[in-house]
Amino acid sequence: MIKLKGKKVGNYNFTYTYKETKATHKIKEYYNEKDGVRMVILEKETRKGENFVKLPNSLWITRDGYPPLATDGAMKRVPGRTVSLFFAGLPTVQSQEHIRIFDDVLRNELKGIGLDYDQMSKAIKERDVAKEIQMTGFLYLKKEEIDENICDRFMPMVLKAYGKVLESDPMPCPVDLWRERIIGKQAIIEYHLFKDEGFDVPLSAQRAFFTMMIDEREAGDEKTQEEKESSKKIQELI
């Protein structure tokens, strides 16, 4: 069985206040060198007065040859709306076998607590983004309630399903397409969403958060000729 949570290698904590909004981020990174599995765990809160959006335990897990696992648990209280939600998915998944494994495990697990996976997955699979970048997964919504345990309820099931995916044969996925979309287009979408809900969140801060959460950790050892020349000039200057 592949260990998803390896040795802790990173700790990124940052807080900013912009106008009347305060945002706190706690990001922890773990790496299983033996199996090449990287796990990033996020705890985040955005607050303005009595209104808030909390992400108590969101994950980003990657391994070469497999689709990433993205989860997002959120509790939101904004003017006129209170909601808790949980999302889990495999963006950029290419293998039908990976999709089948992930869907089958979650279908069975969620059935055990009286939930219909196929119904919950429609909200993901019918979105335009899922057509642009192939994805499977599900979304659960609980309206008019702040559910502090929403991540604890679903996360073990999701990790079980993803663990089974990682035990199957690999098939490379264009993960960079997802990174580019999230850091680019999705950052703008969420900027407007926060603004519409009364928060003051700079677009630059939203992009920075997404970058720290899901972007590549290394650029590779090979340098282009331009990079070599630029490095040499900088070293000569200092």
Tens digits of residue pLDDT in 1-54: 789 999 999 999 999 999 999 999 999 999 999 999 999 999 999 999 999 999
pLDDT the model gives residue 234? 81
Q: In what order do the strands lie in the sheet with 69-78?
A: 7-18, 21-32, 37-48, 51-63, 69-78, 81-91, 135-143
Tokens of 180: 């580019």
pLDDT the model gives residue 235? 84
Residue 127 carries which side chain, given as an amino acid letter? Answer: R
Tokens of 102: 């992930």
pLDDT tier for residue 130 given thresholds of 50, 70 and 90: confident
Query: Token match 């899922």: residue?
Result: 130
- Across the range 112-119, mean pLDDT stands at 97
Question: Residue 67: helix, strand or coil by DSSP?
Answer: coil
pLDDT the model gives residue 228? 78
The pTM of this model reads: 0.94
Distances, alpha carbon 95 to alpha carbons 78, 101, 168, in Å: 39, 10, 10
Write out pLDDT tens, residues 205-228: 999 999 999 999 988 777 788 877
Query: Token match 């603004």: residue?
Result: 195
